[in-house]
Chain A
Amino acid sequence: MKSWTVAAEIVRGSAITMRHFFVNMAFHTLRLFGIKTRRQGAVTIQYPEVRKELSSRHRSLHRLRPRADGRSSCVSCMLCVTVCPSECITVEAAEDPDPEIQKAPVRFEVDLGRCCFCGFCVEACPVDAIRMDTGEIRLASASRVALKTRLDKT
Protein backbone atom coordinates (compact mmCIF):
# COMPACT_ATOMS: atom_id res chain seq x y z
CA MET A 1 0.00 0.00 0.00
CA LYS A 2 2.67 2.46 1.01
CA SER A 3 4.81 1.77 -2.01
CA TRP A 4 1.84 2.48 -4.25
CA THR A 5 1.39 5.89 -2.66
CA VAL A 6 5.07 6.55 -3.18
CA ALA A 7 4.84 5.54 -6.83
CA ALA A 8 1.75 7.71 -7.30
CA GLU A 9 3.49 10.69 -5.71
CA ILE A 10 6.52 10.19 -7.96
CA VAL A 11 4.28 10.33 -11.02
CA ARG A 12 2.37 13.31 -9.62
CA GLY A 13 5.61 15.19 -8.96
CA SER A 14 6.84 14.85 -12.49
CA ALA A 15 3.36 15.68 -13.79
CA ILE A 16 3.53 18.99 -11.92
CA THR A 17 6.96 19.94 -13.25
CA MET A 18 5.97 18.78 -16.72
CA ARG A 19 2.81 20.88 -16.62
CA HIS A 20 4.84 23.94 -15.59
CA PHE A 21 7.32 23.24 -18.36
CA PHE A 22 4.77 22.90 -21.15
CA VAL A 23 2.51 25.75 -20.03
CA ASN A 24 5.45 28.14 -19.64
CA MET A 25 6.98 26.94 -22.89
CA ALA A 26 3.69 27.62 -24.69
CA PHE A 27 3.59 31.20 -23.40
CA HIS A 28 7.28 31.74 -24.19
CA THR A 29 6.71 30.49 -27.75
CA LEU A 30 3.61 32.65 -28.28
CA ARG A 31 5.46 35.74 -27.09
CA LEU A 32 8.49 34.88 -29.21
CA PHE A 33 6.28 35.10 -32.27
CA GLY A 34 4.88 38.43 -31.12
CA ILE A 35 1.52 37.16 -29.93
CA LYS A 36 0.51 39.11 -26.85
CA THR A 37 -0.71 37.01 -23.97
CA ARG A 38 -2.04 38.19 -20.66
CA ARG A 39 0.20 35.76 -18.78
CA GLN A 40 3.95 35.60 -19.16
CA GLY A 41 6.02 32.45 -19.37
CA ALA A 42 8.01 33.43 -16.32
CA VAL A 43 7.58 35.54 -13.21
CA THR A 44 11.09 36.97 -13.58
CA ILE A 45 11.46 40.77 -13.70
CA GLN A 46 14.48 41.59 -15.89
CA TYR A 47 15.84 43.98 -13.29
CA PRO A 48 17.96 46.77 -14.72
CA GLU A 49 15.73 47.16 -17.78
CA VAL A 50 12.41 46.46 -16.11
CA ARG A 51 11.66 47.77 -12.63
CA LYS A 52 9.10 46.66 -10.16
CA GLU A 53 6.96 49.54 -8.97
CA LEU A 54 7.99 50.61 -5.49
CA SER A 55 5.43 50.89 -2.75
CA SER A 56 4.37 54.45 -1.98
CA ARG A 57 5.66 53.93 1.57
CA HIS A 58 9.02 52.64 0.38
CA ARG A 59 11.95 54.42 2.03
CA SER A 60 14.57 55.14 -0.60
CA LEU A 61 17.26 57.81 -1.00
CA HIS A 62 16.61 60.98 1.02
CA ARG A 63 15.90 64.37 -0.49
CA LEU A 64 15.37 67.88 0.84
CA ARG A 65 12.05 69.36 -0.16
CA PRO A 66 12.64 72.69 -1.92
CA ARG A 67 10.79 75.94 -1.22
CA ALA A 68 9.06 77.89 -3.95
CA ASP A 69 12.30 79.77 -4.74
CA GLY A 70 14.30 76.55 -5.09
CA ARG A 71 16.28 76.67 -1.86
CA SER A 72 15.81 73.76 0.52
CA SER A 73 13.18 74.14 3.19
CA CYS A 74 15.52 72.85 5.93
CA VAL A 75 15.88 75.21 8.90
CA SER A 76 18.88 73.39 10.46
CA CYS A 77 17.06 72.63 13.68
CA MET A 78 19.21 69.51 14.17
CA LEU A 79 16.23 67.35 15.17
CA CYS A 80 17.04 64.77 12.51
CA VAL A 81 20.67 64.71 13.59
CA THR A 82 19.55 64.10 17.16
CA VAL A 83 17.00 61.42 16.43
CA CYS A 84 19.13 59.46 13.94
CA PRO A 85 20.01 56.12 15.54
CA SER A 86 22.88 55.52 13.11
CA GLU A 87 24.32 59.01 13.59
CA CYS A 88 24.69 59.33 9.86
CA ILE A 89 23.37 62.88 9.32
CA THR A 90 25.68 65.87 9.48
CA VAL A 91 24.21 69.35 9.24
CA GLU A 92 26.24 72.56 9.23
CA ALA A 93 23.98 75.47 9.96
CA ALA A 94 24.41 79.07 8.79
CA GLU A 95 22.46 82.29 8.79
CA ASP A 96 19.70 82.47 6.24
CA PRO A 97 19.52 85.63 4.07
CA ASP A 98 15.75 85.72 4.61
CA PRO A 99 15.08 87.44 7.97
CA GLU A 100 11.90 85.42 8.40
CA ILE A 101 13.95 82.21 8.56
CA GLN A 102 16.39 81.61 11.33
CA LYS A 103 18.89 79.21 9.76
CA ALA A 104 19.68 77.26 6.61
CA PRO A 105 22.15 74.40 6.06
CA VAL A 106 25.38 75.05 4.16
CA ARG A 107 26.11 71.35 4.29
CA PHE A 108 23.51 68.58 4.68
CA GLU A 109 25.20 65.23 4.43
CA VAL A 110 23.85 61.70 4.88
CA ASP A 111 26.37 58.89 5.17
CA LEU A 112 24.57 56.15 3.26
CA GLY A 113 27.13 53.66 4.51
CA ARG A 114 25.71 54.15 8.01
CA CYS A 115 22.06 54.97 7.28
CA CYS A 116 19.66 52.18 8.21
CA PHE A 117 16.69 53.71 6.37
CA CYS A 118 14.51 53.79 9.49
CA GLY A 119 12.82 57.02 8.46
CA PHE A 120 13.06 58.64 11.93
CA CYS A 121 14.54 61.79 10.39
CA VAL A 122 11.46 62.13 8.20
CA GLU A 123 9.23 61.70 11.25
CA ALA A 124 11.21 64.16 13.34
CA CYS A 125 11.43 67.04 10.86
CA PRO A 126 9.17 69.90 12.03
CA VAL A 127 9.03 71.58 8.63
CA ASP A 128 8.71 68.43 6.52
CA ALA A 129 11.99 69.24 4.77
CA ILE A 130 13.55 65.78 4.56
CA ARG A 131 11.77 63.04 2.74
CA MET A 132 12.72 59.53 1.57
CA ASP A 133 10.59 59.29 -1.54
CA THR A 134 13.04 59.66 -4.44
CA GLY A 135 12.57 56.04 -5.47
CA GLU A 136 16.33 55.77 -5.99
CA ILE A 137 17.40 52.38 -4.66
CA ARG A 138 20.67 51.86 -6.49
CA LEU A 139 22.92 53.36 -3.87
CA ALA A 140 25.97 51.12 -4.10
CA SER A 141 29.37 52.73 -4.47
CA ALA A 142 32.96 51.63 -4.82
CA SER A 143 34.25 53.71 -1.91
CA ARG A 144 33.00 54.73 1.53
CA VAL A 145 33.69 58.41 0.85
CA ALA A 146 31.40 58.36 -2.16
CA LEU A 147 28.58 57.09 0.05
CA LYS A 148 28.54 60.40 1.94
CA THR A 149 25.78 62.09 0.02
CA ARG A 150 25.26 65.86 0.00
CA LEU A 151 21.53 66.51 0.02
CA ASP A 152 21.77 70.31 -0.25
CA LYS A 153 23.56 70.03 -3.58
CA THR A 154 22.05 67.82 -6.20
Chain B
Amino acid sequence: MPAEALIIAVKVVLALTWTLLLALFLTWVERKESAVLQDRIGANRASILGLRLFGLFQPFADAIKMLFKEDFAPSFAQRTLHWLAPAFSFFFVAVTMIAVPFGDDVHLLGRTIPLQVVDLNAAVLFVLAMLSLGVYGILVSGWASSNRFALVGSLRGAAQLVSYEAALGLSLVGLIMVFPSLSLSRIVEFQGGRLLGILPRWGIFLQPLGFVVFYLAGLAGTKRVPFDLPEGESEIIGFYTEYGGLKFGLFMFTDFLEVIVLAALSTTLFFGGWQVPWLGDTGFAFPWGRAVPVAPWGVTVLRVLSFNLKVLFFCWLQILTRWTYPRFRYDQVMDLGWKLLVPFGVVNVLATGLVLAVR
Protein backbone atom coordinates (compact mmCIF):
# COMPACT_ATOMS: atom_id res chain seq x y z
CA MET B 1 0.00 0.00 0.00
CA PRO B 2 2.71 2.57 0.82
CA ALA B 3 4.34 1.68 -2.51
CA GLU B 4 1.09 2.46 -4.30
CA ALA B 5 0.82 5.79 -2.51
CA LEU B 6 4.44 6.58 -3.39
CA ILE B 7 3.85 5.76 -7.05
CA ILE B 8 0.77 8.01 -7.12
CA ALA B 9 2.69 10.82 -5.42
CA VAL B 10 5.56 10.55 -7.89
CA LYS B 11 3.14 10.54 -10.80
CA VAL B 12 1.31 13.61 -9.47
CA VAL B 13 4.59 15.47 -9.07
CA LEU B 14 5.81 14.43 -12.53
CA ALA B 15 2.55 15.34 -14.25
CA LEU B 16 2.42 18.71 -12.48
CA THR B 17 6.06 19.43 -13.28
CA TRP B 18 5.54 18.51 -16.91
CA THR B 19 2.48 20.72 -17.19
CA LEU B 20 3.97 23.71 -15.39
CA LEU B 21 7.28 23.54 -17.23
CA LEU B 22 5.50 23.29 -20.55
CA ALA B 23 3.29 26.24 -19.62
CA LEU B 24 6.34 28.24 -18.52
CA PHE B 25 8.18 27.68 -21.77
CA LEU B 26 5.00 28.11 -23.77
CA THR B 27 5.26 31.81 -22.88
CA TRP B 28 8.64 31.74 -24.59
CA VAL B 29 7.24 29.77 -27.53
CA GLU B 30 4.42 32.28 -27.86
CA ARG B 31 6.83 35.22 -27.94
CA LYS B 32 9.17 33.56 -30.40
CA GLU B 33 6.55 32.02 -32.67
CA SER B 34 4.62 35.26 -32.96
CA ALA B 35 7.90 37.03 -33.72
CA VAL B 36 8.92 34.58 -36.41
CA LEU B 37 5.59 34.72 -38.20
CA GLN B 38 5.69 38.51 -38.09
CA ASP B 39 9.26 38.66 -39.47
CA ARG B 40 10.61 39.74 -36.09
CA ILE B 41 13.17 38.14 -33.78
CA GLY B 42 11.41 38.19 -30.43
CA ALA B 43 12.68 38.37 -26.88
CA ASN B 44 16.32 37.33 -27.01
CA ARG B 45 18.05 39.53 -24.45
CA ALA B 46 17.42 37.69 -21.19
CA SER B 47 20.74 36.09 -20.34
CA ILE B 48 22.53 34.32 -17.54
CA LEU B 49 26.26 35.24 -17.45
CA GLY B 50 26.09 36.31 -21.06
CA LEU B 51 24.46 33.05 -22.14
CA ARG B 52 21.41 34.01 -24.14
CA LEU B 53 20.22 30.72 -25.63
CA PHE B 54 17.56 32.30 -27.88
CA GLY B 55 16.01 34.08 -24.89
CA LEU B 56 15.08 30.83 -23.19
CA PHE B 57 15.55 32.52 -19.81
CA GLN B 58 12.84 35.05 -20.59
CA PRO B 59 10.14 33.12 -18.64
CA PHE B 60 12.33 33.27 -15.53
CA ALA B 61 12.89 36.99 -15.98
CA ASP B 62 9.11 37.43 -16.30
CA ALA B 63 8.51 35.33 -13.20
CA ILE B 64 11.05 37.30 -11.17
CA LYS B 65 9.49 40.56 -12.32
CA MET B 66 6.05 39.40 -11.23
CA LEU B 67 7.36 38.09 -7.89
CA PHE B 68 8.80 41.47 -6.98
CA LYS B 69 5.69 43.45 -7.82
CA GLU B 70 3.47 44.70 -5.06
CA ASP B 71 0.74 42.27 -4.09
CA PHE B 72 -2.01 44.78 -4.51
CA ALA B 73 -5.72 44.49 -3.88
CA PRO B 74 -7.91 47.58 -4.20
CA SER B 75 -9.55 48.76 -0.99
CA PHE B 76 -13.03 48.36 -2.47
CA ALA B 77 -12.43 44.75 -3.51
CA GLN B 78 -13.67 41.78 -1.53
CA ARG B 79 -10.30 40.66 -0.33
CA THR B 80 -10.85 36.94 0.27
CA LEU B 81 -12.58 36.31 -3.03
CA HIS B 82 -10.09 38.54 -4.81
CA TRP B 83 -7.40 36.25 -3.46
CA LEU B 84 -9.23 33.04 -4.24
CA ALA B 85 -10.23 33.78 -7.86
CA PRO B 86 -6.83 33.18 -9.51
CA ALA B 87 -6.41 30.03 -7.44
CA PHE B 88 -9.81 28.75 -8.62
CA SER B 89 -8.91 29.44 -12.23
CA PHE B 90 -5.56 27.76 -11.93
CA PHE B 91 -6.70 24.74 -9.93
CA PHE B 92 -9.61 23.66 -12.08
CA VAL B 93 -7.53 23.77 -15.23
CA ALA B 94 -4.42 22.16 -13.77
CA VAL B 95 -6.38 19.32 -12.18
CA THR B 96 -7.64 18.08 -15.56
CA MET B 97 -4.14 16.92 -16.41
CA ILE B 98 -4.41 14.02 -13.93
CA ALA B 99 -6.84 12.23 -16.24
CA VAL B 100 -4.65 12.45 -19.34
CA PRO B 101 -2.64 9.33 -20.22
CA PHE B 102 0.94 10.30 -21.04
CA GLY B 103 1.94 6.88 -22.28
CA ASP B 104 1.40 3.17 -22.21
CA ASP B 105 1.77 0.91 -19.15
CA VAL B 106 5.34 0.68 -17.88
CA HIS B 107 6.56 -2.59 -16.38
CA LEU B 108 8.98 -1.74 -13.61
CA LEU B 109 10.21 -4.03 -10.81
CA GLY B 110 7.39 -6.46 -11.33
CA ARG B 111 4.73 -3.77 -11.23
CA THR B 112 2.54 -2.46 -14.03
CA ILE B 113 2.42 1.30 -13.82
CA PRO B 114 0.10 3.15 -16.17
CA LEU B 115 1.60 6.49 -17.21
CA GLN B 116 -1.48 8.33 -16.09
CA VAL B 117 -2.06 9.80 -12.66
CA VAL B 118 -5.57 8.40 -12.18
CA ASP B 119 -7.40 6.16 -14.62
CA LEU B 120 -10.87 7.54 -14.04
CA ASN B 121 -13.61 5.51 -15.70
CA ALA B 122 -15.53 8.69 -16.45
CA ALA B 123 -12.49 10.82 -17.33
CA VAL B 124 -14.21 12.59 -20.22
CA LEU B 125 -16.97 13.78 -17.91
CA PHE B 126 -14.41 14.72 -15.25
CA VAL B 127 -12.43 16.84 -17.70
CA LEU B 128 -15.53 18.58 -19.03
CA ALA B 129 -16.77 19.20 -15.49
CA MET B 130 -13.47 20.69 -14.35
CA LEU B 131 -13.20 22.89 -17.43
CA SER B 132 -16.70 24.24 -16.83
CA LEU B 133 -15.90 24.81 -13.15
CA GLY B 134 -13.15 27.11 -14.43
CA VAL B 135 -15.95 29.62 -15.03
CA TYR B 136 -15.96 30.25 -11.29
CA GLY B 137 -12.46 31.67 -11.41
CA ILE B 138 -13.62 34.23 -13.97
CA LEU B 139 -16.93 35.04 -12.31
CA VAL B 140 -15.44 35.35 -8.84
CA SER B 141 -12.58 37.55 -10.04
CA GLY B 142 -14.99 39.91 -11.76
CA TRP B 143 -17.36 40.00 -8.81
CA ALA B 144 -14.68 40.40 -6.16
CA SER B 145 -12.96 43.24 -7.99
CA SER B 146 -16.00 45.53 -7.55
CA ASN B 147 -15.05 47.09 -10.84
CA ARG B 148 -17.46 47.55 -13.73
CA PHE B 149 -14.92 46.64 -16.41
CA ALA B 150 -13.98 43.51 -14.52
CA LEU B 151 -17.63 42.56 -14.04
CA VAL B 152 -18.44 43.09 -17.73
CA GLY B 153 -15.43 41.00 -18.66
CA SER B 154 -16.29 38.21 -16.28
CA LEU B 155 -19.92 38.09 -17.43
CA ARG B 156 -18.78 37.95 -21.04
CA GLY B 157 -16.41 35.19 -20.11
CA ALA B 158 -19.08 33.25 -18.25
CA ALA B 159 -21.57 33.60 -21.12
CA GLN B 160 -18.96 32.54 -23.67
CA LEU B 161 -17.76 29.55 -21.68
CA VAL B 162 -21.27 28.33 -20.89
CA SER B 163 -22.27 28.67 -24.56
CA TYR B 164 -19.30 26.75 -25.85
CA GLU B 165 -19.67 24.14 -23.12
CA ALA B 166 -22.72 22.89 -25.02
CA ALA B 167 -20.84 22.54 -28.31
CA LEU B 168 -17.85 21.00 -26.52
CA GLY B 169 -20.04 18.35 -24.91
CA LEU B 170 -21.96 17.62 -28.11
CA SER B 171 -18.80 17.22 -30.17
CA LEU B 172 -17.62 14.46 -27.86
CA VAL B 173 -20.88 12.48 -27.97
CA GLY B 174 -20.10 11.13 -31.43
CA LEU B 175 -16.61 10.15 -30.31
CA ILE B 176 -17.95 8.28 -27.29
CA MET B 177 -20.38 6.45 -29.60
CA VAL B 178 -17.47 5.32 -31.78
CA PHE B 179 -15.11 4.45 -28.93
CA PRO B 180 -17.61 3.14 -26.39
CA SER B 181 -15.89 4.34 -23.23
CA LEU B 182 -15.60 7.44 -21.07
CA SER B 183 -12.16 6.51 -19.83
CA LEU B 184 -9.39 8.39 -21.61
CA SER B 185 -6.98 5.46 -21.41
CA ARG B 186 -9.58 3.14 -22.97
CA ILE B 187 -10.26 5.69 -25.72
CA VAL B 188 -6.55 5.82 -26.51
CA GLU B 189 -6.35 2.02 -26.57
CA PHE B 190 -9.28 1.89 -28.98
CA GLN B 191 -7.34 4.12 -31.37
CA GLY B 192 -4.52 1.60 -31.67
CA GLY B 193 -5.82 -0.42 -34.60
CA ARG B 194 -5.90 0.30 -38.28
CA LEU B 195 -8.59 1.81 -40.44
CA LEU B 196 -9.11 0.52 -44.02
CA GLY B 197 -5.78 -1.25 -43.64
CA ILE B 198 -3.69 1.92 -43.96
CA LEU B 199 -4.74 4.75 -41.71
CA PRO B 200 -4.20 4.60 -37.97
CA ARG B 201 -7.58 4.24 -36.28
CA TRP B 202 -7.53 7.74 -34.81
CA GLY B 203 -10.53 9.78 -33.78
CA ILE B 204 -9.83 12.42 -36.43
CA PHE B 205 -10.45 9.91 -39.23
CA LEU B 206 -13.64 8.58 -37.63
CA GLN B 207 -14.97 11.90 -36.38
CA PRO B 208 -13.61 14.73 -38.56
CA LEU B 209 -16.61 16.97 -37.98
CA GLY B 210 -16.53 16.16 -34.29
CA PHE B 211 -12.90 17.25 -34.15
CA VAL B 212 -13.57 20.56 -35.89
CA VAL B 213 -16.40 21.35 -33.49
CA PHE B 214 -14.37 20.21 -30.50
CA TYR B 215 -11.31 22.20 -31.50
CA LEU B 216 -13.22 25.42 -32.19
CA ALA B 217 -15.23 25.11 -28.97
CA GLY B 218 -12.02 24.35 -27.10
CA LEU B 219 -10.33 27.42 -28.63
CA ALA B 220 -13.24 29.52 -27.41
CA GLY B 221 -12.80 27.92 -24.00
CA THR B 222 -9.18 29.04 -23.76
CA LYS B 223 -10.37 32.68 -23.91
CA ARG B 224 -7.50 33.70 -26.17
CA VAL B 225 -7.62 35.73 -29.37
CA PRO B 226 -9.85 35.33 -31.56
CA PHE B 227 -12.16 34.53 -28.66
CA ASP B 228 -10.67 36.91 -26.09
CA LEU B 229 -13.86 38.86 -25.36
CA PRO B 230 -13.63 38.36 -21.61
CA GLU B 231 -10.24 40.01 -21.77
CA GLY B 232 -10.75 42.49 -24.60
CA GLU B 233 -7.45 44.30 -24.04
CA SER B 234 -8.32 47.27 -26.20
CA GLU B 235 -11.77 48.09 -24.79
CA ILE B 236 -12.39 46.57 -21.37
CA ILE B 237 -9.35 45.18 -19.66
CA GLY B 238 -11.52 42.31 -18.60
CA PHE B 239 -11.80 40.27 -15.49
CA TYR B 240 -8.22 40.92 -14.49
CA THR B 241 -8.51 44.67 -14.46
CA GLU B 242 -7.79 44.82 -10.73
CA TYR B 243 -5.09 42.19 -10.68
CA GLY B 244 -1.37 42.69 -10.73
CA GLY B 245 1.83 40.90 -9.92
CA LEU B 246 1.71 37.22 -9.17
CA LYS B 247 -2.08 37.00 -9.08
CA PHE B 248 -2.26 38.35 -12.61
CA GLY B 249 0.58 36.02 -13.47
CA LEU B 250 -1.51 33.11 -12.27
CA PHE B 251 -4.33 34.15 -14.60
CA MET B 252 -1.91 34.38 -17.51
CA PHE B 253 -0.46 31.03 -16.56
CA THR B 254 -3.97 29.56 -16.52
CA ASP B 255 -4.40 30.72 -20.12
CA PHE B 256 -1.33 28.77 -21.13
CA LEU B 257 -2.44 25.78 -19.08
CA GLU B 258 -5.73 25.87 -20.98
CA VAL B 259 -3.77 25.81 -24.23
CA ILE B 260 -1.93 22.73 -22.99
CA VAL B 261 -5.12 21.06 -21.77
CA LEU B 262 -6.83 21.62 -25.11
CA ALA B 263 -3.75 20.31 -26.91
CA ALA B 264 -3.59 17.27 -24.64
CA LEU B 265 -7.30 16.56 -25.03
CA SER B 266 -7.22 16.95 -28.82
CA THR B 267 -4.29 14.56 -28.88
CA THR B 268 -5.89 12.05 -26.54
CA LEU B 269 -9.36 12.05 -28.02
CA PHE B 270 -8.77 12.60 -31.73
CA PHE B 271 -5.10 11.96 -32.53
CA GLY B 272 -4.49 8.66 -30.83
CA GLY B 273 -2.94 9.93 -27.60
CA TRP B 274 0.34 8.10 -27.10
CA GLN B 275 -0.28 5.80 -30.09
CA VAL B 276 2.39 5.87 -32.77
CA PRO B 277 0.98 5.01 -36.21
CA TRP B 278 1.40 1.26 -36.95
CA LEU B 279 3.35 0.68 -33.72
CA GLY B 280 2.11 -2.31 -31.76
CA ASP B 281 3.34 -3.66 -28.42
CA THR B 282 6.19 -5.56 -30.10
CA GLY B 283 7.14 -3.25 -32.93
CA PHE B 284 6.09 -1.56 -36.13
CA ALA B 285 3.81 -3.42 -38.51
CA PHE B 286 3.65 -1.31 -41.66
CA PRO B 287 0.66 -1.60 -43.99
CA TRP B 288 2.93 -2.62 -46.89
CA GLY B 289 3.79 -5.79 -45.01
CA ARG B 290 7.11 -4.96 -43.41
CA ALA B 291 7.56 -5.48 -39.71
CA VAL B 292 10.26 -3.85 -37.56
CA PRO B 293 10.58 -5.26 -34.03
CA VAL B 294 11.16 -2.70 -31.27
CA ALA B 295 12.23 -3.47 -27.70
CA PRO B 296 9.54 -2.91 -25.03
CA TRP B 297 11.37 0.08 -23.52
CA GLY B 298 11.75 1.52 -27.01
CA VAL B 299 8.02 1.21 -27.54
CA THR B 300 7.35 3.07 -24.29
CA VAL B 301 9.81 5.85 -25.16
CA LEU B 302 8.38 6.19 -28.67
CA ARG B 303 4.85 6.41 -27.30
CA VAL B 304 5.64 9.04 -24.68
CA LEU B 305 7.56 10.96 -27.31
CA SER B 306 4.64 10.69 -29.70
CA PHE B 307 2.25 12.11 -27.10
CA ASN B 308 4.59 15.00 -26.35
CA LEU B 309 5.14 15.82 -30.01
CA LYS B 310 1.42 15.85 -30.71
CA VAL B 311 0.78 18.10 -27.73
CA LEU B 312 3.55 20.45 -28.86
CA PHE B 313 2.09 20.50 -32.36
CA PHE B 314 -1.32 21.53 -31.05
CA CYS B 315 0.22 24.19 -28.82
CA TRP B 316 2.02 25.51 -31.89
CA LEU B 317 -1.19 25.45 -33.91
CA GLN B 318 -3.10 27.33 -31.22
CA ILE B 319 -0.45 30.01 -30.98
CA LEU B 320 -0.51 30.31 -34.77
CA THR B 321 -4.29 30.73 -34.62
CA ARG B 322 -3.95 33.30 -31.87
CA TRP B 323 -1.55 35.42 -33.94
CA THR B 324 -3.44 35.09 -37.20
CA TYR B 325 -7.03 36.08 -36.59
CA PRO B 326 -8.52 39.28 -35.22
CA ARG B 327 -11.05 39.18 -32.41
CA PHE B 328 -14.66 38.26 -33.08
CA ARG B 329 -17.40 40.69 -32.28
CA TYR B 330 -19.54 39.52 -29.37
CA ASP B 331 -22.59 38.57 -31.46
CA GLN B 332 -20.32 36.72 -33.89
CA VAL B 333 -18.96 34.64 -31.04
CA MET B 334 -22.48 33.76 -29.91
CA ASP B 335 -23.56 33.04 -33.51
CA LEU B 336 -20.58 30.77 -34.07
CA GLY B 337 -21.32 28.91 -30.87
CA TRP B 338 -25.08 28.48 -31.05
CA LYS B 339 -25.84 28.65 -34.77
CA LEU B 340 -22.86 26.80 -36.20
CA LEU B 341 -21.07 24.60 -33.69
CA VAL B 342 -24.11 23.29 -31.79
CA PRO B 343 -26.03 22.34 -34.99
CA PHE B 344 -22.88 20.75 -36.44
CA GLY B 345 -22.45 18.87 -33.17
CA VAL B 346 -26.03 17.57 -33.42
CA VAL B 347 -25.55 16.63 -37.09
CA ASN B 348 -22.37 14.81 -36.14
CA VAL B 349 -24.17 12.83 -33.44
CA LEU B 350 -27.01 11.92 -35.84
CA ALA B 351 -24.64 10.95 -38.67
CA THR B 352 -22.51 8.86 -36.34
CA GLY B 353 -25.60 7.12 -34.99
CA LEU B 354 -26.84 6.44 -38.51
CA VAL B 355 -23.52 4.96 -39.61
CA LEU B 356 -23.28 2.84 -36.50
CA ALA B 357 -26.87 1.59 -36.94
CA VAL B 358 -26.45 0.76 -40.63
CA ARG B 359 -23.11 -0.97 -40.20
Contacts and interface: CB of A to CB of B under 8 A. Distances in A.
B39 A24 contact: yes
A28 B325 contact: no
A17 interface: yes
A42 B54 CA distance: 14
A135 B36 CA distance: 31
A24 B325 contact: no
Interface in B15-71: 33, 35-41
B276 to A, nearest CB: 24
A21 B35 contact: no
Interface in A18-41: 18, 20-21, 24-25, 28, 41
Which 4 residue pairs spanning A and B have beta carbons closest together?
A: A21-B37, A44-B41, A17-B324, A20-B37
Contacts of A44: 39-41
A141 interface: no
A24 B39 CA distance: 7
B320 interface: yes
Dominant secondary structure of chain A at its interface with chain B: helix
Given A18-B320, A42-B36, A44-B39, 15 more contacts: A10-B325, A13-B325, A14-B324, A17-B37, A17-B320, A17-B324, A18-B37, A20-B39, A21-B36, A41-B36, A41-B39, A42-B39, A43-B39, A44-B40, A46-B41
A16 B33 CA distance: 14
Interface residues of A, number: 16
11 contacts: A10-B325, A14-B325, A16-B324, A17-B37, A17-B320, A20-B36, A21-B33, A24-B36, A24-B37, A41-B36, A42-B39
A14 B40 contact: no
Interface of B: 33, 35-41, 320-321, 323-325
Interface of A: 10, 13-14, 16-18, 20-21, 24-25, 28, 41-44, 46
Given A10-B325, A14-B320, A18-B320, A42 B37 contact: no
Nearest to A45: B41
B36 A25 contact: yes
A10 B154 CA distance: 28
B25 to A, nearest CB: 17
B87 to A, nearest CB: 35
Contacts of B39: 20, 24, 41-44
Contacts of A14: 320-321, 324-325
A125 B41 CA distance: 45
A18 B35 CA distance: 12
Given A42-B41, A44-B41, A28 B36 contact: yes
Contacts of A24: 36-37, 39
Contacts of B38: 20
Nearest to A20: B37
A50 to B, nearest CB: 11
A123 to B, nearest CB: 39
Contacts of A43: 39-40
Nearest to B320: A17
Contacts of A46: 41
B323 A17 contact: yes
A17 B40 CA distance: 13
A42 B35 contact: yes
A75 B321 CA distance: 65
